[in-house]
Chains A and B, each alone.
Chain A
Amino acid sequence: MKFGLLFILSLIGLTSLLDTINQLFLKSAINSLQVNLSANVFKILKFVWQVILIPKVWLGGLCALVSLCIWLFVLSKSDLNFAFSADSMHYIFIAFASRIFLKEKVGFRRWLGTIFIVLGIVLISIS
């Protein structure tokens, strides 16, 4: 591999970070709508359309677009099974972001799961 493992891991971390930001924008946009989602497919499509019209979602979309470009670069340089597994680090970001920005309580089980994911990423990186 031409590129260092740490460099590729940092890029995957960046896509995870951008995806997390996108999720935060999306979540905050959906919260502002306050609708009851029904099982009707047409109502879901209408809901998706309403969500798309919120400017905050465009910012999230921009993050997703940049993330996709970085992701494609990562895939051009490393194996899919490695990149996809390492991308699970967004669960770690979300655990920290929830605690720091949303002041959510992150319980024992969530930290345990996060440690499992970190261990898994270390294992796939050294193999």
Chain B
Amino acid sequence: MLKNKLTVKILVFLVFSDILETFTQFCFKKGALNAASLDVNNLAGLSLFLKAVFSSGFIWIGIFSVIFTFIIWSTILSKIELSVAVPIASFSYILVPLVSVVFLHEKISLLRWAGIIFILAGVIVVSKSSHEKEGA
């Protein structure tokens, strides 16, 4: 049976999956920068773009990271309910922008941070609402 009780072990798994998700996006961004100058206007452009992107090692590390995250998520969800797991996992909505600022030198205005906080709050409210069905 699934439990609502969050153990330290599951929490470690969840935080790890957050970091892994952030790492994945960082790798994808790094790989995509490989082809930032290329435009996709036709099929030939598309194949050139994909060739440039997938020749970057970062993409393959990212894909490996996605598969690894999938296995960790399967493990987490076999032990705890989705409505408990998602709010903790959505910590990546803060982690990804932080990594963007520190490692990719992107700029985030106060207004954008406010938007990010709204999204985070929305995701948490949505995931908590799965209890509504039983209540109604």
Contact = CB atoms under 8 A, between A and B. Distances in A.
Interface of A: 2, 37-39, 41, 44-45, 47-48, 68-69, 71-77, 79-82, 84-85, 88, 91, 95, 105, 107-110, 112-127
A107 B132 contact: yes
A72 B118 contact: no
Interface residues of B, number: 56
Majority secondary structure, B binding face: helix
B12 interface: no
A109 B125 contact: yes
Nearest to B99: A80
A47 B74 contact: yes
A90 to B, nearest CB: 10
Contacts of A110: 125-126, 129, 132
Contacts of A120: 115-122
Given A39-B75, A75-B32, A120-B115, 13 more contacts: A41-B75, A80-B106, A82-B112, A84-B96, A84-B100, A88-B93, A91-B122, A109-B132, A110-B126, A120-B118, A123-B111, A126-B111, A127-B115
